[in-house]
Amino acid sequence: MLQKVLIANRGEIACRVIRACREMGIRSVAVYSEADADSLHALIADEAICVGAGSNSDSYLNLANILMAVQISGAEAVHPGYGYFSERSNFAEALRSLNVGFIGPTAEAIEAMGDKAKAKEAAIRSKCPVVPGSKGPVPSDTDALKVAEEIGYPILLKAVAGGGGRGIRRVDSPTELSGLWKTASAEAQASFGSGEMLVEKLVEHPRHVEIQIIGDQHGNMVYLGERECSIQNLRHQKIVEEAPYSGLPPRVRKAMGEAAVRVAKSVGYTNAGTVEFLVDKDFHYYFLEMNTRLQVEHPITEEITGVDLVKLMLKVANGERLPMKQADVEIKGHSIEARITAQDPDKDFAPSTGCITMWRQPGGKGVRMETHCYAGYSVSPYYDPMLAKIIVTASTRLEAVKKLQTALYEFEVAGIATNIPFLRRLVAHPKYVEGDFHTGFVPAFLQEGHG
Amino acid sequence: MPGIESELIKHALSVARQRGFAEVEIETEAGRFSASLEKVKKTPAQVGQEAAPQKEKASNGLFDIKAPLVGYYSQAMPGLASGITVAKGDVIASISALGLANDVESPQEGEIVEVLVADGDPVMYGQVIARMKVNK
């Protein structure tokens, strides 16, 4: 087994990995910034190394300081958590050149999935459905009409160089295509310096569903069911996730799981990863992208499968074989995660910082907390506003929803503003309780005046 | 973004600035990057990194000299020792990281009263390497 692991991250995920290390008898090394000296992760690790002042670029993203922390600690491997260096192939490569293990996929696999166009090609090669559309840019509106006829309306016209919602138009019929093409193309030219356009089928009211996979270095890989992550804020950040997606027919779950494994294997993937899909109301699924790291919402998969993903990542990185085969994977119960953030729902979700004067967290059977916060801890303005994750697990979805409502009712934080009041309203909404929602749920909820 | 990793460029530029280079040129498989840096008037003694910023003075009235980066400490010439007097900007130590030796400059003028690290010791960011009595 590994003797010493450095965790190149902060906050709750660093705590999560440090705990797994301790349970396995592995020495843990935390890195922290001066602003994070009191963060739980810096206090519970066996060793802690300060890597910079406050800002991310000075500390957690300071490549030289992180690599030197690895070197002076003598760690044999690094767990990157999520964010930061977790999906940077150059970090995995730098560690390899120092003869230090990266607890995740190879640099090559990270790279293969990092480029969205290449990832989509890998999906197509693996016979995994992708959102139908033109193969690359379409030269004119007449060509766009032809593609639209093939894939069916409604479609999206998307700027190749686009981003932030600009240069995108929804087209419902052939008669309006020409006009919309001109405005979208002109907008793209003005905004991005390129008027090149793609045509893509619009998946209406999709759900965001993702498959957890994990593979060892001996060619074995399994999928650990799906997570439903449609409850997203206006910036497409997930807020509440659940597993399984109760309405998903077993045959679709199996087909998606097998497709995810094919895509991951096609790039020689090892260790934990997530393949994201859009699923429409008729359960057609389309490959979106692959995240080559541990996800924030991984605990709900752990709860319903009984697999400790972080421990398994450490074992797999050490060259061990997966202890299970696909047939051994069983899904039991229902789990929901809610992300607690230091954002004020009364002020347009503006970040809130300062000292947490009171922290009364929920508990009880089936309630799991992942956090680096406590009363007396100061939330600094430098980092992601996520303070904690509540994970509740029960035998049915409805019981889990009730448990989440109860946990949020109990949870009180003072000194800073949090999104807890907003989450309480959200999970009490009849549509949420019924499980009747899609990725447009939160925007509609806010429009109803619940913000 | 195609081309050279921005991390690499940033790192090269910061090293070049620290050392007062006039030009930077990087070539990798991904492409080529070159830049000429504006001359910043610095005396040779000022090309190192100043010690990490000080939040407050130590309670005993001494000034803490802190490591500005993570790496291995080594003595500069002349070696850091209690009793010696240093001027602001003097190179008082070196911290090597990723094969590069980084000079550490004295942030103040005064007398070194205590040295807390030995040659070859690993140091983390902000670690106190020495204490000095500042000349008023």
Of B5, B72, B126, the CB nearest to A34: B126
Its pTM stands at 0.86
CA atoms within 13 A of residue A69's CA, in its CB half-sphere: 30
Cβ partners under 8 Å of residue B130, min gap 6: B64, B65, B80, B92, B93, B112, B114, B115, B116, B117
Q: Are A85 and A66 in contact, with CB atoms under 8 Å apart?
A: yes
- pLDDT band of residue B50 (cuts 50, 70, 90) is low
**Do A141-201 and A4-103 fall under one CATH topology?**
no
Asked whether residue A92 carries a pLDDT value surpassing 90, the answer given is yes
Contact B71 A68 (CB under 8 A): yes
In angstroms, the first-to-last Cα distance of chain A is 49
Of B5, B69, B122, the CB nearest to A65: B69
Q: Check residue A3 and give its pLDDT.
A: 97
CA–CA gap between residue A7 and residue A78 (Å, rounded): 6
Contact B124 A51 (CB under 8 A): yes
Contact A64 B97 (CB under 8 A): yes
Q: Are A110 and A87 in contact, with CB atoms under 8 Å apart?
A: yes
CA–CA gap between residue A431 and residue A441 (Å, rounded): 9
Residue appearing with tokens 């309405």 = A247
Examine the residue annotation and report whether A262 is marked as an active-site residue of this protein: no
Domain chopping of chain A, boundaries: 4-103, 141-201, 207-450
Please give, rounded to a whole number of angstroms, the shortest distance from the CA of A48 to a CA of chain B: 9
CA–CA gap between residue A285 and residue A245 (Å, rounded): 13
Q: Check residue B42 and give its pLDDT.
A: 38
Contact B71 A51 (CB under 8 A): no
B94 lies within 8 A of chain A by CB: no
* pLDDT tens digits, one per residue of B91-109: 999 999 998 999 999 989 9
Of A50, A64, A90, the CB nearest to B124: A50
Task: List B residues 9-28 in contact with A (Cβ-Cβ < 8 A).
Answer: 11
Asked whether residue A261 carries a pLDDT value surpassing 50, the answer given is yes
Question: Residues A16, A27, A207, A293: which is the catalytic one?
Answer: A293
- pLDDT band of residue A418 (cuts 50, 70, 90) is very high
Cβ partners under 8 Å of residue B99, min gap 6: none
DSSP helix/strand/coil, A436: coil
Which chain A residue lies closest to B4 (C-alpha atoms)?
A90
Please give, rounded to a whole number of angstroms, the shortest distance from the CA of A267 to a CA of chain B: 20
The domains located in chain B, with CATH, are 6-36 (no CATH), 44-134 (2.40.50.100)
Mean of the per-residue pLDDT values for chain A?
A: 94
Contact A90 B72 (CB under 8 A): no
* pLDDT tens digits, one per residue of A223-241: 999 999 999 988 888 999 9
Q: With b meaning 16 or more CB within 10 Å and e meaning fewer, what string describes A139-164? A: eebeebbebbeeeeeebbbbbbbbee
Asked whether residue B58 carries a pLDDT value surpassing 60, the answer given is no
| B52: chain A residues, CB-CB within 8 Å | 53
Which chain B residue lies closest to A63 (C-alpha atoms)?
B7
Which chain B residue lies closest to A89 (C-alpha atoms)?
B5
Q: Check residue A348 and give its pLDDT.
A: 87
Q: Is A210 exposed, middle or buried (0-12, 13-18, 19+ CB in 10 A)?
A: buried
**Candidates 3.90.870.10, 3.20.20.80, 3.20.20.70, 3.40.50.20; CATH matching A4-103:** 3.40.50.20
Q: Check residue B14 and give its pLDDT.
A: 66
* pLDDT tens digits, one per residue of A37-63: 999 999 999 999 999 999 999 999 999
Q: Residues of A at the B interface (Cβ-Cβ below 8 Å)?
A: 34, 49-53, 59, 63-65, 67-69, 72, 88, 90
Which chain B residue lies closest to A73 (C-alpha atoms)?
B122
Asked whether residue B43 carries a pLDDT value surpassing 60, the answer given is no
B44 lies within 8 A of chain A by CB: no
Q: Are A287 and A274 in contact, with CB atoms under 8 Å apart?
A: no
| B125: chain A residues, CB-CB within 8 Å | 34, 50-53, 59, 65
**Candidates 3.40.50.2300, 3.20.20.140, 3.40.50.1000, 3.30.1490.20; CATH matching A141-201:** 3.30.1490.20
Please give, rounded to a whole number of angstroms, the shortest distance from the CA of A51 to a CA of chain B: 5
| A63: chain B residues, CB-CB within 8 Å | 7, 11
- pLDDT band of residue A400 (cuts 50, 70, 90) is very high
Q: Check residue A235 and give its pLDDT.
A: 81
Domain made up of A207-450: CATH architecture? 2-Layer Sandwich (3.30)
* pLDDT tens digits, one per residue of A283-337: 999 998 999 999 999 999 999 999 999 999 999 999 999 999 999 999 999 999 9
